[in-house]
Amino acid sequence: MEIERYSSPIMNGKQSSLPMERSSTHRIPFDSETFLTDRRHMPLQQIKEELEFQLAIVKNHLVELINKDYTEFLDLVTNLVDVDKVVDLVREPLKNTESEVKMIRDNMISIEKALEEKLNYRSSIREKKASLQLILNLAHSVEKIEYLLKEEQLEEDSALQAENPQSTSTATTISKFMERIAMEYNQIRYYVKKGKDLPFVAQMEPRIEGIKKTLQTRLSSGLQVLFEDIAQGRQSADTLASLTQNLRTYALIDRAADAEEIFRLQFVAPFIRKVVTPEALGGKNEADKLRAMFDNIIDFASTKCSSILNITQNVLRGTEYELLIHGIWKEVIDNINQNLAKIYSTENPDCFQLRYKLAVDFVMRFEKLCASRKTFLYLRAHPSYQGFMASWELKKYYQTRLHEISRQFEETLQRHGREIEGKVLPATQSLIALASYCWTDEVYLDQLAPSFWRLTFQLLARYKSWMDDLLSEFSEQGGIQLEKSRSQTSPYPSSTGMSRSTSTPSNSVATGVTSEDSVLKYLAALSHDINHVHTEFERLFHDRISRRLPSDPIYKQSLDDALHEITSKQKSIGDRVTQCLIKKCSDQLRLVRNVTGQYRHTNRKPPTQSSPYVQVIFGPVVNYFHPENSHFDSSETEKWTEAIANAVTSKFAAILSELLTTLQRTEESLKRLKKGKRTGTALASSLFSSSGAASTLSDEDKIRLQLLLDVKRYQQELAKLGVPLEKIQDLDELRNTVSPYQELERT
């Protein structure tokens, strides 16, 4: 039966604002804190009444549940009748079964212990039997080896009576016996290792040690004889077969290092000591002597040692032999470090660079002698290889080159930075020459490619900072900025290797550019050099740098970015050029004011042609941008000429407007003066007309006519510059200024 939701009781005639639901008290588990928190705004009496009301609901609900399942409750009570009796009946058989199981378990444990004791006893018997068998085998092997050694000694003595003791046949006989003995000796080593705790094995140690020494002595003497025969050219199939057996024997007894040491001392060392001598360094033909030394070593390893290396690299492949490294390479490096220690010196960078390139070429050719990748990697990881390569102080060599190049560049910038010689500035010549010098065969090293690439950018950055200083000096406040820039230290850190030197203000004044003509000339050369630097560095990257760097477009992109920072200075140069030329052209406009003095009270005839100053207004522009004198691109000159024409036209229009306004005011003042003085007829006549017979135009009209002719000629000069007149912004204003005086020209 479903119980309906009850509302909270009515208190004091008002209904509770927060009804209490049945679900709030049926939460599993019921949280009293949450229940009270939800009703924290209600009075305690109201909460108590709600809880009592809810308690009644819960009790009713319990009764409903019992009534709903009343049949099940009755069945449960009926089923539990006589349960105790049934349990008692089952308990007794279970106890009996438990006691029987415990008895059986105890019997099984006793049987297991007895069986375990018998197994342990049998295992100890087996171990003793194995130890006894090991002792018997060890004793048998030792006796067998001692017998073989005696037999080998007898056969060797008989062979020595009939033949030369150093003959190949004797060595062959020794090698065959030694291989048999080595196989037995390996068995002894196995028995000794397995029974190392047995007293008998300890007692056999002296005899085993004697066998070991005898075996090593016989093997060593045989190997020395074989190496001597090969060194003297007595090489045959029997010799190589004996050598193979001997080396295999060394590998069987894990003494390959001993064979490598004999090979190094007996076969390699005598030749290397003759080749690697102190005489290989020094003299004019040092390069030839070093090259010949390395060639002789490679020839020795690839020809004289080829048969021996073939045995260890092919016939005995998979063994621990590394004759190429332990026998040849190590001996070569030891002799170089001992007899040619000065080969690593960086005092003379040219000699160091040549020696290093020859050494690297030798290492690369030697690495090609490795018959497997395993040998190649072992050579690269060998301490002697890493020590040899680390002995070449490449960082010190680079620092020497960096100091040399930066010193030359800084000297050029300081001593000849403001000189103009030929078509290219000395600073630009030095930049291109030194950047190319970094990548020549006489300086460049593959291992230092990132460093020389960085040095190229440092040269470009120093060149850019030098241009910034120059353009700063050529600014309008050149004198102040020149002294200031020359007295401060460089903002670039010394770690770049391209530090900026300082000098006194007096030196900068002495060497600085003072006149505007010199500034313009220098700016023209600098603009040409910027394009020249871009072209030359593009060619340098294509011809040299790209062949020495990995094939990655990021290198070309980074160079383009650096060159773009330099070519972007063309705008600053253009701005400064236009400022200078505008000033020079504007200087001619000062003559416009002289027109008034030419016609006032001079009784001159009316003008029929333009003033001479108009023809030379743009003279500085024409001369500066003349193809024979200028190195600027045509696109740049057109842009700059247009800017100059606009600025000069604007100033010309302003001057004309001011002049005509002043002229108009003067004329009006004179008219008022004439009207106020009756007796001043003669004076007024002389003021308004210098000579009535000569002309009907007043002095003011002559001035206006002259200005009109000047404006017309000025437009012709603009056309000669090649600037479209429609692009001159203030030209219409200039025309409108003199257009009212067109009638004066016809008069």
Cα–Cα distance, 99 to 554 (Å, whole number): 89
Report the alpha-carbon distance of residue 169 to residue 444 in Å, rounded: 56
The pLDDT of 32-37, averaged and rounded, is 79
Q: Which residues pair with 14 in a beta bridge?
A: 11
- The predicted pLDDT at position 721 comes to 82
Phi-psi category of residue 505: left, alpha or beta, with phi > 0 → left and psi -120 to 50 → alpha = alpha
Query: In the predicted model, is pLDDT for residue 683 greater than 60?
Result: no
- Average pLDDT on 495-505 reads 41
Residue 503 has pLDDT above 70, yes or no: no
Q: What pLDDT is attached to residue 635?
A: 74
Max mean pLDDT among 23-27, 135-139, 336-340, 424-428 falls in 336-340
Residue 146 confidence (pLDDT) above 80: no
pLDDT above 90 covers a percentage of the chain that reads 26
- Is pLDDT at 651 greater than 60 in this prediction? yes
Which of 174-183, 294-303, 589-598, 722-731 holds the top average pLDDT?
Answer: 294-303
**Highest mean predicted confidence (pLDDT) among 140-144, 214-218, 444-448:** 444-448
| Cα–Cα–Cα angle for 705, 708, 714, rounded to 5 degrees | 145
| pLDDT classification of 26: cutoffs 50, 70, 90 | low
Q: What is the pLDDT of residue 582?
A: 86
40-49, 537-546, 625-634: segment of lowest average pLDDT: 625-634
Q: What is the mean pLDDT of residues 328-346?
A: 92
Q: pLDDT tens-digit profile of 520-530?
A: 888 888 888 88
Which tokens belong to 95? 């106890």
pLDDT score of 13 more than 70: no
Whether 193 has a pLDDT exceeding 80, the answer reads no
- Per the structure block, which two tokens stand in for 603? 């009784």
pLDDT value at position 377?
94
> Span 513-526, mean pLDDT?
74
**pLDDT of 2 above 60:** no
pLDDT band of residue 57 (cuts 50, 70, 90) is confident
Residue 513's pLDDT is 38
d(Cα 451, Cα 136) in Å, to the nearest integer? 71
**pTM, entire model:** 0.66
Cα separation, 223 vs 263, in Å, equals 8
Convert 475-487 to b/e letters by CB count within 10 Å (16 or more is b): eeeeeebbbebbe
Q: Report the distance separating Cα 305 and Cα 296, nearest Å.
A: 12
* C-alpha span between 650 and 543 (Å, rounded): 50
pLDDT for res 677 = 61
Q: Give the confidence band of 744 by pLDDT, cuts at 50, 70, 90.
A: confident
Token pair of 607, please? 């003008």
pLDDT in tens, 253-277: 888 888 999 999 999 999 999 999 9
pLDDT score, position 696: 64
Percent of the chain's residues with pLDDT above 70: 82
For residue 62, is pLDDT > 70? Answer: yes
- As a whole number, mean pLDDT of residues 327-345 equals 93
Bridging pattern class, strands 14-15 and 10-11: antiparallel
The segment with the largest mean pLDDT, out of 160-164, 207-211, 562-566, is 562-566
**pLDDT score recorded for residue 344:** 92
Banded model confidence at residue 23, pLDDT cuts 50, 70, 90: low
How far apart CA 580 and CA 625 sit, in angstroms, is: 13
Mean pLDDT in the chain? Answer: 79
Inform me whether the pLDDT recorded for 633 exceeds 80: no
Residue 506 has pLDDT above 70, yes or no: no
For the segment 391-408, what is each residue's pLDDT rounded down to a tens digit? 999 999 999 999 999 999
- Confidence (pLDDT) at 158: 59
Please tell me the predicted confidence (pLDDT) of residue 364.
95
Closest CA to 141 of 181, 176, 177, 188: 188
Q: Please give the average per-residue pLDDT across 311-336, as a whole number.
A: 90
pLDDT interval class at 149 (50, 70, 90): confident
Q: Please report how many Cα atoms fall inside a 13 Å half-sphere around the Cα of residue 243, on the Cβ side.
A: 26
pLDDT band at 293 (very low <50, low <70, confident <90, very high): very high
Residue 9 confidence (pLDDT) above 60: no
- For residue 492, the model assigns a pLDDT of 33
Per-residue pLDDT at 588: 81
Whether pLDDT at 4 is above 80: no
Reported as a single tens digit per residue, the pLDDT across 454-498 is: 999 999 999 999 988 888 887 644 432 333 333 333 333 333 444
Comparing 384 with 514, the larger pLDDT belongs to 384
